[in-house]
Structure formats: structure tokens, C-alpha cells
Amino acid sequence: MTVLHLADETEAADLAAFLSRLLHYDRAAAVRLQAAGTALAVFGRPASFEVLAVRAVALAKPYEDGLDATLDVTVSAGELLEAVDEKAATTAVPAAVTGPPWAGVLPPRGGWRAQDGLPPANSLRALVSGAVAEFRARTGELAPERRTRGELDRIGREIWSRTVAETGLPVRAVHAAQSLGFLRPAPAAGPDGLALFSSGAWLRLRTPYGSIAVRRAGLGTLGVSVR
């Protein structure tokens, strides 16, 4: 069985926390793993957010049986979580599963350019809090006969499709970052480590704890990168 040796207990705990948050939104969630050298990228799609979440994990070595192999496989997030041993800082790689459609549509590996105009982390957290409060207020005002799934979804799409300042980044991407623990305050004072990048139709919000990638035209459009 393939065993990944994580850099330390903290990396193992952060990976477990990320998987737990994905499973909170979808108990049948899958993740795509790509490992090379001493880096592991874990891709997931939190249900209802229409974004891709990426958690980078530092490895002590790629595999138990060698340093030169690479890994690219889609697995059950729940089975991977069960395999994480935080004290040993290892995880076994579960058997591959038939990946959902998004697993074949990943952001490009290169060509990213920095984008200006991203507000600081505290402003982004306030933006999400305000959007959540607006959603609750507007849906709470609906008459019982209008409180349908279609109407709730319509209000949600209107709010979460708004963009952050002039960046073009949809608010739902920031909401996903907050919900997955990527926007938590840094442990010490200083720069918040946030940055926004673009590559083709993709935007990527990078934080010290993970990244959120989203296609400006939506994940289902033509021109995607399939690999």
C-alpha cells in the first residue's frame, strides 16, 4: 500500500481538518491527489460553492518505497481522512475511485499572473459575514408560500455571484475560503499572506492555508484544462 510521509504532525492535522470540512458539505466527497518530490496537492470541490479548493501539504518523502515516483489519483475523502495518522505524520493512500467530473478539470500549473485590488483578510471576512447576514435577512422576510428551494437558490446566487471590489473574484470563492478555514487570522501580526492570481479564465485566491480556484465563466464551459 502506498504510504505518504508528511513533513510533521502539523501538516497531518491540517490535512485532516481540510478533509473534515469537505466532508461536512458532502459525506461522499472525493479528492484528487497529486504528489511529486516533497509536495502533495489535494484538490476538492466543496458542495454548493462551485469552486475548487487546493490544500498544499509538505512531505518528508513522497513514498515509503522510493523518492522518484509521482502520484496522481482520485480517492474518497472519507477514506483518506480515516487513513491519516497525525502522531506518525503519515497517511495511506486509499484505493482509487471513479472521479467526479470536476476531478478532470484542474487549474493550469503555470502562467499565473498577480492581480491587484484584493482587499485585506479582515475586509474579506467582513464581506462574507455581511453576505451571510443579508442572505438570512432576505430569506427570513419571505412569506411561507414563497420560501421555496428555487427562491432560496435565486437569492443565494445573486449574493454569492457578486464580485470582490474590481477583481472579478466572486464572493462565493471568499465564502468557500472562510468555510474551509483558509481565511483564519495569522498567528502573528504582519502581512496576511493573501494574493490573487489569474491564468486564462481562472482566478486563484491564495492564502497561507490553501487556495480557492474558480473559472470566471464557470467550471462547465468550454476551454477547460483536462488532465
**What is the chain's pLDDT, residue by residue, as a tens digit (227 residues)?**
788 999 999 999 999 999 999 999 999 999 999 988 889 999 999 988 899 999 999 999 866 555 556 789 999 999 999 999 999 999 999 999 998 999 998 999 889 999 999 999 999 999 999 999 999 999 999 999 999 999 999 999 999 999 999 999 999 999 999 999 999 876 655 567 899 999 999 999 999 999 999 998 644 433 334 34
Whether residue 115 contacts residue 197, with contact meaning beta carbons closer than 8 Å, is answered with yes
Q: How far apart are CA 226 and CA 103, in angstroms?
A: 9
- Angle between helices 149-160 and 121-140 in degrees, nearest 10: 150
pLDDT of residue 84: 97
**So what CATH class is 3-104?**
alpha beta
Q: How far apart are CA 31 and CA 40, in angstroms?
A: 12
Number of neighbours of residue 182 by Cβ within 10 angstroms: 24
pLDDT of residue 53: 97
pLDDT of residue 63: 60
pLDDT of residue 191: 64
- Three-point CA angle 74, 75, 78, nearest 5°: 150
Q: Where are the domains of the chain?
A: 3-104, 113-215
User: E-assigned strands of 81-208?
Assistant: 84-85, 90-92, 113-115, 195-199, 202-207
pLDDT of residue 187: 63
pLDDT of residue 99: 82
Overall pTM surpassing 0.85 (yes/no): yes
pLDDT of residue 37: 82
Number of neighbours of residue 105 by Cβ within 10 angstroms: 17
pLDDT of residue 61: 81
Which three cell numbers mark 163? Answer: 464580485
For residue 130, the surrounding DSSP H or E stretch is: helix 121-140
107 burial type by CB count under 10 A (0-12 exposed, 13-18 middle, 19+ buried) = buried
